[in-house]
């Protein structure tokens, strides 16, 4: 793909101009400011944990919570799950657009959004896991607080994602900070799974036979069903979900404070050099950039595949595999493997390139998706397959956020006169990720409803078992194949990435020379 005329002009100009001594000093000063300490990177990385902790808890447990704890009809649960995510169709791009027009403050341009949204976000998150006493108002309750939390979390996560471009001008430093961030974010999924799963698992209410009252909060253990377990009431299970949400809310606040205290935005890197554009102009701009559109569409399908796996794995383990009392430990193994594999994938993409890492990392999960369905139910086999799948999950976490800065840099090279739109690029990617999650949860729950899912039943109909196998194996495999086919046409390989980096450095040197000349003229 040919670069824009503006990029050629910058490249030609850089060949004709030799940096002045003042320009060299300014360049050295900017380079030193572009370096990030380990403490800076860690504090930046910690800021990504809240999104993953809450997202993991919601992704793994909200579906089973609405069905078996809040006792909602599967049809209404599917509406809540889909509408909550679809609401991001409005909030994500809108917040990205508003951030791009936000003025600079003494705390930066991103930090005020992050800090001000935090207290309201944790309140809404806590109320998602509370079961209201009014039976008729449950659906409205969960819709309001689920949509409110999605909006407030968008106000946190979109500016945090865009902050990648503002913490340093050096691509190497941004890639390094992204690796730190992905490690902490996968660790966040581990924490979310451990906190939610272990606390809830200790209060796992027994299943019930047909004919019992689903709304009873003091269900006795029926003969022949988990008779060795102590009696646990539904009320205890609901309290366990609230305790887990309280712990997660506390972690959310601590992470936001660490991010605020440990990271400083660089004003030079985030000033807007172009006239503000309208909302729809911004949409046309980002979606009209070919590499960005291909990257987003490719990861939309691969993300949707992992979302189907995430959203249905708890039910699959509980009912299809029969590991009702072990599913939280199986989920923990997946997240532990993902956490340990992040450094490996960071090394791999550095050694062999990001596009190669996409193909290897994403396809590595396919054999284990097949084995977990075809191999007879075995707890040991399930643990092994889950650990191997977690290695692929790590690649799915790391690669999108590592490749997004490359696309933004490519846009800057092709459009050197149009700058300051990073938040719009990141907000649309966040939207597509959440949209994939909403589609997966909504379609999954609706499919289970059609298959005849029995709320808190000890067993499920054969149609439900077949549906769960499709949702955790066949559907993800097909979506992964579609996503990888799209990536074939993704144009930014290692050669072009390095070429873009060189051109951006040349642009920056020209700006430094201009600043140096301006300083000299003012001195005269």
Report whether 505 contacts 413 (CB < 8 A). no
As a whole number of angstroms, the distance between CA 262 and CA 47 comes to 10
Closest CA to 39 of 139, 160, 177, 135: 177
As a whole number of angstroms, the distance between CA 249 and CA 47 comes to 14
pLDDT at 117 over 60: yes
CB-hemisphere CA count at 13 Å for 406?
A: 25
Report phi then psi at 208, rounded to 5.
Answer: -125, 155
pLDDT at 205 over 70: no
C-alpha distance from residue 494 to each of 179, 350, 351 (Å): 18, 10, 11
Domain edges within the chain: 37-208+233-266, 278-516
pLDDT, mean of residues 321-325: 81
As a whole number of angstroms, the distance between CA 515 and CA 28 comes to 14
**pLDDT mean across residues, the chain:** 78
Domains 37-208+233-266 and 278-516 share a fold: yes
pTM: 0.69
pLDDT in tens, 268-280: 544 444 555 666 7
pLDDT band at 246 (very low <50, low <70, confident <90, very high): very high
Strand, coil or helix: 457: strand
Report whether 72 contacts 138 (CB < 8 A). yes
Q: Bigger pLDDT: 168 or 185?
A: 185
DSSP alpha helix (H) spans, 101-170:
111-128, 138-162
As a whole number of angstroms, the distance between CA 273 and CA 30 comes to 18
pLDDT, mean of residues 250-260: 93
pLDDT in tens, 352-366: 888 888 899 988 889
pLDDT at 3: 42
Strand, coil or helix: 105: strand
Closest CA to 486 of 280, 335, 291, 309: 291
Q: So what's the architecture of 278-516 in CATH?
A: Up-down Bundle (1.20)
pLDDT band at 20 (very low <50, low <70, confident <90, very high): low
Q: Bigger pLDDT: 141 or 456?
A: 141
pLDDT at 221 over 80: no
pLDDT at 521: 58
As a whole number of angstroms, the distance between CA 43 and CA 163 comes to 12
Find which of 29-38, 235-244, 319-328, 453-462 is predicted with most confidence, using mean pLDDT. 235-244
Report whether 421 contacts 292 (CB < 8 A). no
DSSP alpha helix (H) spans, 17-48:
21-34, 38-46
Judged by average pLDDT, the poorest of 11-15, 76-80, 186-190 is 11-15
pLDDT at 19 over 80: no
- CATH level 3 topology of 37-208+233-266: Growth Hormone; Chain: A; (1.20.1250)
pLDDT at 198 over 70: yes
pLDDT at 193 over 60: yes
pLDDT, mean of residues 112-119: 92
Find which of 120-129, 378-387, 461-470, 497-506 is predicted with most confidence, using mean pLDDT. 120-129
pLDDT band at 209 (very low <50, low <70, confident <90, very high): low
């Amino acid at each position: 793909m040919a670069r824009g005329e503006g990029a050629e002009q910058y490249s030609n100009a850089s060949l004709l101009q030799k940096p002045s001594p003042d320009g060299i000093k300014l360049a050295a000063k900017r380079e030193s400011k572009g370096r990030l300490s380990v403490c800076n990177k860690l504090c930046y990385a910690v800021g990504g944990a809240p999104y993953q902790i809450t997202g993991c808890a919601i992704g793994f447990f909200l579906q089973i919570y609405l069905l078996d704890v809040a006792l909602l009809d599967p049809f209404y649960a599917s509406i809540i799950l889909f509408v909550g995510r679809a609401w991001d169709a409005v909030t994500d791009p809108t917040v990205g657009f508003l951030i791009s027009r936000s003025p600079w403050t003494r705390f930066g341009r991103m930090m005020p959004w992050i800090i001000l949204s935090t207290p309201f976000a944790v309140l809404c998150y806590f109320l998602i896991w509370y079961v209201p006493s009014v039976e008729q108002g449950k659906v409205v309750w969960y819709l309001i607080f689920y949509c409110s939390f999605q909006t407030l979390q968008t106000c946190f996560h979109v500016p945090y994602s865009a902050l990648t471009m503002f913490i340093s001008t050096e691509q190497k430093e941004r890639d390094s900070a992204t690796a730190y961030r992905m490690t902490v974010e996968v660790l966040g999924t581990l924490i979310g799974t451990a906190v939610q799963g272990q606390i809830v698992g200790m209060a796992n209410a027994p299943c019930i036979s047909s004919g019992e009252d689903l709304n009873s909060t003091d269900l006795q253990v029926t003969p022949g069903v988990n008779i060795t377990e102590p009696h646990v009431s539904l009320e205890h299970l609901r309290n366990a979900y609230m305790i887990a949400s309280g712990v997660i809310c506390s972690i959310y606040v601590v992470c936001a404070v660490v991010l605020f205290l440990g990271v400083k935005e660089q004003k030079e890197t985030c000033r807007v050099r172009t006239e503000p554009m309208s909302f729809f102009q911004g949409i046309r701009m980002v979606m009209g950039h070919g590499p960005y559109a291909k990257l987003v569409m490719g990861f939309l399908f691969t993300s949707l595949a992992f979302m189907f796996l995430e959203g249905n794995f708890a039910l699959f383990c509980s009912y299809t595999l029969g590991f009702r009392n072990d599913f939280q430990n199986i989920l923990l193994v997946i997240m532990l493997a993902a956490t340990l594999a992040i450094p490996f994938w960071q090394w791999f993409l550095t050694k062999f390139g990001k596009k190669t890492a996409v193909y290897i990392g994403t396809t590595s999960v396919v054999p284990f998706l097949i084995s977990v369905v075809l191999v007879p139910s075995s707890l040991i086999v399930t643990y092994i397959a889950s650990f191997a799948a977690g290695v692929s999950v790590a690649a799915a976490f790391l690669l999108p956020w590592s490749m997004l800065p490359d696309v933004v840099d490519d846009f800057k090279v092709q459009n050197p006169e149009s700058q300051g739109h990073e938040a719009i690029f990141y907000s649309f990617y966040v939207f597509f990720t959440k949209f994939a999650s909403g589609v997966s949860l909504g379609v999954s729950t609706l499919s289970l409803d059609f298959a005849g899912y029995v709320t808190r039943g000890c067993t499920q109909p054969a149609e439900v078992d077949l549906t769960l196998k499709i949702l955790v194996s066949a559907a993800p495999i097909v979506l992964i194949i579609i996503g990888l086919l799209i990536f074939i046409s993704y144009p930014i390989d290692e050669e072009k990435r390095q070429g873009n980096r060189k051109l951006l450095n040349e642009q920056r040197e020209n700006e430094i020379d201009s600043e140096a000349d301006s300083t000299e003229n003012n001195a005269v």
